[in-house]
Amino acid sequence: MDLTEILIKLCDTPGPPGFEDGVSRFVRGLFEQYADETRTDALGNVIGVRKCGKEGARKLLFDAHIDETGLIVTGAEEGFLRFAALGGLDARMLPASGVTLLSDPPVYGVVSVMPPHVLKDEDMEKTAKIEDMFIDIGMSQDEAAKAVPPGTPGVFACEARRFGEDKLCGKALDDRAGVAAILRALEMLADERLDVDLYVMASVQEEVGTRGAAPGVFSIAPDMCIVVDVGHAKTLDTKPADVNEELGGGVIISRGPNINPALAETAVKLAREKGIKHQIDVEPGGDSGTNARAIQISREGVATAIFGIPLKYMHSPQEVASLDDIESTARLLYETAAALS
């Protein structure tokens, strides 16, 4: 598996919340290489299973979400498009950003921005609100209304690329990096005999409240689940009280009420024994901000762990992740599945 090539294709395939069809189809094709069965449910969650063939086998689920932060067009004024956020779109990132509007055919647009020459001094430091922004698509009012009607979704217009020797830069690494780690783990497990039925889920609508994971996990009814998502990596402007994990520091293993302590301890022990680079993150609340919050309390409860991939500049058009960290995450997924067998 060329992890870099697959991850670039994953990141470049649009999939904002509620509009993940294209990336769902792509991921299902990837899952089919390793799963005995695959399906796509009504919401768009892609679910695969590799059966171990043993009666009464426990179910282990690997989950990562495939949606990305985006926007949706709400109307047009004089050819300029009004829009709203889909997920945690950061208003600071938007002025002068390029966006791809997923109409048929797709339309390129630029979020309009006032030049500094015409701003008042008191407005220079202010961040405009999304509801006050417009997208310029170079069309008249009639053309814009026909080409990009209300309800059209959009994403940042940028391509993923290699960044330094062992990193990747681009949009949607949250959480296509997690999907890539699961795919790599499936490749590593291809010749392993397991005692568990291994399920994988590429879930939708995480960015708007873990909406896909809840019905997806209900249908699977796993005994255990490992949620693979991204975590914040330190930068020069982060504070130690908020972020301690490092890019290149290895897989992040979370501890806290949203995580099953026995499953997390198994992961830490395996990481130490197998020499897998790792770091510990503390999630003191009951909501980790990941699919774990929905999965943990599904049905009678699911023993849930969170493996994180360090990420810089989350929810921006230029997120940065380390390929080595993705590999470490995949290795720990592999070792955990093997140890539970």
Give the pLDDT score at 136. 96
Peptide linkage before 149 cis (omega within 30 of 0):
no
Same domain, 84 and 206: no
* Residue 161, domain member (yes or no): no
State residue 125's pLDDT score. Answer: 65
In a domain, 164, yes or no: no
Report, as an integer, the average pLDDT of 182-202.
96
Distance CA 71, CA 156 (A): 9
pTM of the predicted model, to two decimals? 0.94
Q: Considering the chain, what is the average pLDDT of its residues?
A: 94
- Say what the pLDDT of residue 178 is: 98
CB 268 within 8 A of CB 278: yes
pLDDT in tens, 105-161: 999 999 986 555 444 555 556 678 899 899 999 999 999 999 999 999 999 999 999
Domain boundary pick from 156, 183, 201: 156
Average pLDDT of the segment spanning 217-234: 97
pLDDT for 310 equals 98
Q: Report CA Rg, the chain.
A: 21
The more confidently predicted of residues 202 and 120 is: 202
What are the beta bridge partners of residue 278?
Answer: 251
Share of the chain above pLDDT 70, in %: 96
Same domain, 64 and 74: no
| Sequence-ordered list of residues with C-beta below 8 angstroms from that of 325, at least 6 positions apart, any chain | 247, 248, 249, 250, 251, 277, 309, 310
Beta bridge partners of 223: none
pLDDT at 263: 97
Q: What is the pLDDT of residue 128?
A: 80
Residue 20 has pLDDT above 80, yes or no: yes
Distance CA 212, CA 65 (A): 8
Q: What's the distance, CA 261 to chain centroid? A: 24
Domain check: are 220 and 305 in the same one?
A: yes
Instruction: Report residue 16 CA to chain centroid gap.
Output: 10
pLDDT higher than threshold 80 for residue 21:
yes
Does residue 166 fall inside a structural domain?
Answer: no
Which position has the higher pLDDT, 298 or 114? 298
Q: Flag whether 111 is in a domain.
A: yes
Q: What is the CATH number of the domain that holds 8?
A: 3.40.630.10
Q: Are residues 145 and 219 in the same domain?
A: no
| Residue 31 is assigned to a structural domain of this protein | yes
Given 132, 156, 180, the domain boundary residue is 156
Q: Do residues 222 and 324 share a domain? A: yes
Statement to judge: residues 102 and 217 lie in one domain: no
Structural domain including 88 reads 70-156
Residues 12 and 45 in one domain: yes
Q: What is the number of H-type helices and E-type strands within the chain?
A: 8, 17
Question: Hey, what are 189's tokens?
Answer: 């497990």
Domain check: are 135 and 254 in the same one? Answer: no
Same domain? For 64 and 78 the reply is: no
Q: Is 105 helix (H, G, I), strand (E, B) or coil?
A: coil
Among 107, 126, 156, residue at a domain's last position: 156
The residue behind tokens 């879930």 is 203
CATH number at residue 125: 2.40.30.40
Inside any domain, residue 165: no
Structure confidence at residue 225 (pLDDT): 98
> What pLDDT score does 31 carry?
97
291 three-class SS: coil
Q: Are residues 84 and 106 in the same domain?
A: yes
Q: What is the mean pLDDT of residues 71-77?
A: 96
For residues 178-190, average pLDDT: 97
- Does residue 299 surpass a pLDDT of 90? yes
Task: Check whether residue 61 and residue 147 sit in a common domain.
Answer: no
User: Does residue 9 fall inside a structural domain?
Assistant: yes
Q: How many domains does the chain have?
A: 2
Is 206 noted as a catalytic residue in this protein?
yes
- From 68, 206, 283, 319, active-site residue: 206
Residue 277, pLDDT > 90, answer yes
> Is 162 a member of any domain?
no
Q: What average pLDDT score do residues 40-51 get?
A: 97
Mean pLDDT of 281-304: 92
Same structural domain, 40 and 185: yes
Better-predicted residue by pLDDT, 125 or 233: 233
* DSSP 8-class letter at 177: H
Model pLDDT, residue 64: 98
Which one, of 72, 97, 76, lies nearest residue 143 by Cα?
Answer: 76
